[in-house]
Structure 1
Amino acid sequence: MDMSTVFAHESSATSAVRFGLHPGYKRVFRQHELTVGLILPLETYPDSPQPTMRDHIAMAQRAEDLGVAALWARDIPFYDPAYGDVGQIFDPLIYLTHLAAATRRITLGTAGIVLPMREPLLLAKQLNSLDHLTDGRLVVGMSSGDRASEYPVFGIDFEARGDRFREAFSVYRNVSERAFPRFTSPHFGQSTGFLDMLPKPPHGRTPAIAVGRSQQTLSWIAENMDGLLGFVPDPEELRGFAKEWQDLIQHAFGGGTFKPLGFGGFLSLHPTPTYRFKRIKGGFAMGSRALRDFLEQARDAGVNHVALNLKVTPRPYAEVLEELGTIVLPTFSGQ
């Protein structure tokens, strides 16, 4: 095990203590509880690759008032017609800064920053600054990205993204959290400890969770990152989904360590409230009352958060949000 892995493992073991003081983390991730987040943009557009980006501030404020725990921004640098979705269009960190000025307490997250395509030194500066400026409301989801067409534009080998993810993560954590850090990286420079990066995270560390497997083993994620946001499991798979993660945490750190588990994806909210779980591309369709029951089942299995992308719902966003606020969110409030 190299020194970067030792650093990540040791720091990760103390994350539960540190994050007890982090407002953004506390709002979203609570042991034995489940909260609901929304993936940006806050708009339904099932038949278009891009949203209008109208009324998003009003929707974000309403989501906060209804008890939504977090807003999650995706990292999509380019429009690829083969995927047919550009997310919230704006750069995730700039857009989250904009939302921070219009909200008070809701957690602001990334789902996720495509780490192999980001320069980790500048990313550390950006994330530490944003965590300060939002009064500790930032949770960073990181991924390896799944759009192979983007990698050649950046001059990066798509097949090497797993190795590059680990390398960038080690550099990011090192310069973000250590005073006058020392490191040597094949792709991201070196430091002999004569420079320091400011600001440091306001609560010791900005929580960094994996969004998907990021081309890593689940064991590596459990040992080195602060949580996992996976893909939506079928109802009958919930217990196995949670138990696999919990077993890995216990094996790595022993009993008593809490690292959150969540899942996210598209939700087509069916107009019939009792409409049962049906798999769709990238997520699932379900009625609001059935969704409430499904999330109670997920909570009881050990899942702590669900991030819903309502893009594919063929109904007005405001209408869908109010239905969630009436039927689902009172049971899983992020207040």
Structure 2
Amino acid sequence: MTDGHENAGFERLFGSDRLTFGAGFPLTGARESRPDVGREMTLAAHAEAVGFDALWARDVPLYWPRFGDAGQTFDPWTWLGHAAAHTDEVALGTASVVLPLRHPLHVAKSAASLDRLSDGRLVLGVATGDRDPEFPAFDVDIEDRGELFRESVAFLRTVWRERFPEVDSPWGSLSGDLDLVPKPTTGTVPLLPTGRARQSLEWLGEHGDGWLFYHLPESTLESYLADWRQVAGEKPYAMAVRTELADDPGAGPDPRHLGYRAGSEWFVDYFRGLEDLGVDHVLVSPTGDDPEADLARFAETVVEQV
């Protein structure tokens, strides 16, 4: 872990030696149309009650049908603020805020506000974006997203940590006569760069509070983790894995895009293996046709057994 960044959400995910589990909105599985808000919040409280450690929301500024995924549809700040009011201790994560498309002052204000209103439960996944048509819509050159990402991270850290800061950036300047309020519950909202974010691994290790990555074959994951530990020390590693739980507990793995369909017994062994490799948190997708039952079954047969 990193000194000064252990808000309640970060502690929930990374404050122990055990592998922790999170679930991603929409918990009902509705990815191309507006989810039922009441149902989603009921499921959020249920996921917390059965033992999930985090609830993650996507940042999808504009819907692109060709991509086929609108996230949870609603703005992540508003959505997670609503989720905070329906839960008590579960971490609230973004997976992930597209920094080049958002003014860092808006991100800083929204994130610090959500962090305060949730009693420090926010963990901020941040990314460069992967939906090409969004960039001209925001008048952002897609070739600049790597540099803008670095500039935004520096901007966020400065306005969170300093009172009446001085900042000179592509988005504008602060000359010491204005301050961002509220400040986060700790020195900064913890930032988890997602994927490579068009940065060197050394930069990610130095400037991130952890790393959020995608499912990888275990041999590849092992080398990624070794490289990460070399540049980042004990900073946490989190990953997203698609998980379709088969009815037969003994069913072997059937590969899916970025994950597997398998029985609970195989998943228990798989996640124990990830824990042994040094993975700290996994974002899973345990819901299907009966989300409430699916969350409980995954928690009972996989999470509790790992």
Into which bin does the TM-score normalised by the smaller protein fall? over 0.9
Provide the C-alpha distance between the structure 2 equivalents of 1:50 and 1:294, rounded to a whole number of angstroms: 33
Deviations 1:292-333 (A, max 9, x none): 11111001110000001346x4x321221121121112145x
Larger CA deviation: 232-241 vs 319-328: 232-241
1:43–1:51 contact (8 Å) kept in structure 2? no
Q: Does 1:35 align with 2:20?
A: yes
> Cα distance 1:59–1:96, how it changes in 2: closer, same or farther (>3 A)?
same
How many equivalent residue pairs? 305
Question: Match for residue 147 of structure 1?
Answer: 131
What's 1:16 paired with? 2
Query: What residue in structure 2 maps to residue 290 of structure 1?
Result: 266
The amino acid that maps onto 2:291 is Y
Residues 215-266 of structure 1 deviation map (CA, whole Å, 9 limit, x = unaligned): 111211111010011011223434223222111124xxxxxxx310010043
Q: CA deviation at 1:23?
A: 1.1
Aligned equivalent of 1:329? 303
2:71 is the counterpart of 1:97: no
1:231 has 2:214 as partner = yes
Mapping for residues 75-114 of structure 1, pairs under 5 Å:
75-114=59-98
Assess if the C-alpha contact under 8 Å between 2:4 and 2:186 holds in 1.
Answer: yes
Aligned partner (choices 142, 148, 153) of residue 158 of structure 1: 142
TM (normalized to structure 1)?
Answer: 0.86
The TM-score, its normalising length taken from structure 2, stands at 0.94
> How far apart are residue 268 of structure 1 and its match?
2.4
| Structure 2 unpaired stretches of 5+ | none
Q: What is the identity, as a one-letter code, of the residue corresponding to 2:4?
A: R
* Residue 266 in structure 1 maps to residue 242 in structure 2: yes
Conservation of the 8 A alpha-carbon contact between 1:19 and 1:203: yes
Matching residue of 1:253: none
Conserved in 1, the CA contact under 8 Å of 2:94 and 2:123?
yes
Separation in 1, partners of 2:250, 2:157: 45
Shift of 1:31: 5.2
User: Following the alignment from structure 2 to structure 1, what is the Cα–Cα distance between the partners of residues 35 and 177?
Assistant: 47
Separation in 1 of the partners of 2:260 and 2:209? 26
| Higher RCO, 1 vs 2 (CA within 8 Å, ≥6 residues apart) | 1
Per-residue Cα deviation, 1:173-200 (whole angstroms, up to 9, x for no partner): 1112111211211x21112222221111
| Offset from partner CA, 1:7-48 (integer Å, 9 cap, x none) | xxxxxxxx622234x211110113532100011111135xx6
Report the equivalent of 2:160: 176
Deviation at 1:270, TM superposition (A): 2.4
* Match among 179, 194, 198 for residue 211 of structure 1: 194
Q: 2:116 aligns with which of 102, 121, 132?
A: 132
Supply the distance in 1 between the matched residues of 2:286 and 2:296 (Cα, whole angstroms): 13
Of 56, 64, 76, the residue aligned with 2:48 is: 64
Q: 1:293-308 maps to which residues of 2 (within 5 A)? A: 293-308=269-284
Q: Are the structure 2 counterparts of residues 30 and 109 from structure 1 closer, same or farther at C-alpha, using a change threshold of 3 Å?
A: same
1:25 corresponding residue in structure 2: 10
Q: Matched residues in 1 for 2:54 and 2:47: separation? A: 9
The structure-2 alpha-carbon separation of the partners of 1:107 and 1:53, relative to structure 1 and needing over 3 Å to count, comes to same
| RMSD value, Cα | 1.8
CA 1:176/1:271 → structure 2, altered by over 3 Å: closer, same or farther?
same
Q: Deviations over 1:56-99 (max 9, x none)?
A: 11111111011100000000011111111111111011000001
The sequence identity of aligned pairs, in percent, is 35
Amino acid at match of 1:204: G
Q: Give the letter aligned to residue 60 of structure 1.
A: A
| C-alpha separation in 2, matches of 1:172 and 1:221 | 15
Partner-residue secondary structure (3-state), 1:152: helix
Partner AA of 1:301 in structure 2: L
Give distance in 2, aligned partners of 1:122 and 1:92: 13
1:197 to 173, 180, 193: 180
> In the aligned structure 2, how far is the partner of 1:206 from the partner of 1:104?
19
Task: Summarize the Cα distance change of 1:217–1:41 in structure 2 as closer, same or farther, 3 Å threshold.
Answer: same
8 Å contact kept, 1:235–1:294: no
Distance change (3 Å), C-alpha of 1:121 and 1:154: same
